[in-house]
Amino acid sequence: MTSSQPKYEYVDSAKLPTRWGDFRIHGFVELNGQEHVALSYGEWTEDDIVPIRIHSECLTGDALFSTRCDCGFQLEKALQNIVEHGSGVLLYLRQEGRGIGLLNKIRAYHLQDSGMDTVEANEHLGFDADLRSYDICKLMLDTLNVRRVELMTNNPRKTDALTRLGVDVVARKPIDHGITKDNKGYLKTKTEKLGHAFDPHLLK
């Protein structure tokens, strides 16, 4: 393999009807075999500002309805916002547990059950607090002819990552999060240790 070879490839796309509306799903794969998808809705030109959400996979929150995080809430809200706007893209990245994987996330949950916060648990297992990469996002957006974006996120690292990749982040829009008795501590840790932009008054 030479350094000029692409690290990622676009695979194919298809219709994806959902309870929010009719999306298209687009498949991408890294050379290491890791698979990611993008969901697109509506149409735009390369000059339009397109609402997007970068969402990292969370099996427990997205599919199993866990309330110990805000992932499932944010996924649903992002899809709803895109449909209400009339167009937009959701990039769904397969990097569970901020990059440590599903089983390690369960190990981290066990440590959190014993009193650690989410950052302490990851670090106790020998990982950085956040191992996620957003490099593939540029290819995904280029493939979908998205040049200028309004990014739905509370995480400034995502804004910085897209800007470094050459994506024109015109605005950042906070994404609503479902606050429960089970995830208040998690959200407080994300605010205090990971720099997420939550209203601290909501977490009291």
The per-residue pLDDT for range 101-146, each reduced to its tens digit, is 999 999 999 999 999 988 899 999 999 888 888 999 999 999 999 9
Q: State pLDDT tens for residues 3-60.
A: 445 588 999 999 999 999 999 999 999 888 899 999 999 999 989 999 999 999 999 9
pLDDT of amino acid 200: 56
Q: Is 18 annotated as a binding residue?
A: no
Bridge pairing between strands 148-152 and 168-173: parallel
Domain that holds residue 113: 100-130
Active-site residue (options: 62, 117, 130, 172): 130
Tell me how far apart the alpha carbons of residues 154 and 152 are, in angstroms, rounded to a whole number.
Answer: 7
Beta strands in 31-74 (DSSP E): 35-41, 49-56
Tokens 């899809």 — which residue?
79
- Please confirm, yes or no, whether 199 is among the known catalytic residues: no
Q: Is 137 annotated as a binding residue?
A: no
19 backbone dihedrals φ, ψ, rounded to 5° = -75, -10
Q: Is 30 annotated as a binding residue?
A: no
Q: State pLDDT tens for residues 184-198.
A: 666 666 666 565 666
Are residues 179 and 91 both part of a single domain?
yes
Residue 154 belongs to domain with CATH number: 3.40.50.10990
Does residue 112 form part of some domain? yes
Q: State pLDDT tens for residues 60-99.
A: 999 999 999 889 999 999 999 999 999 999 999 999 998 9
pLDDT of amino acid 155: 87
Are residues 88 and 164 both part of a single domain?
yes
CA 130 to chain centre: 12
The structural domain count of the chain equals 2
- Please confirm, yes or no, whether 132 is among the known catalytic residues: yes
Are residues 115 and 149 both part of a single domain?
no
Are residues 33 and 124 both part of a single domain?
no
Q: Is 107 annotated as a binding residue?
A: no
Active-site residue (options: 62, 70, 117, 132): 132
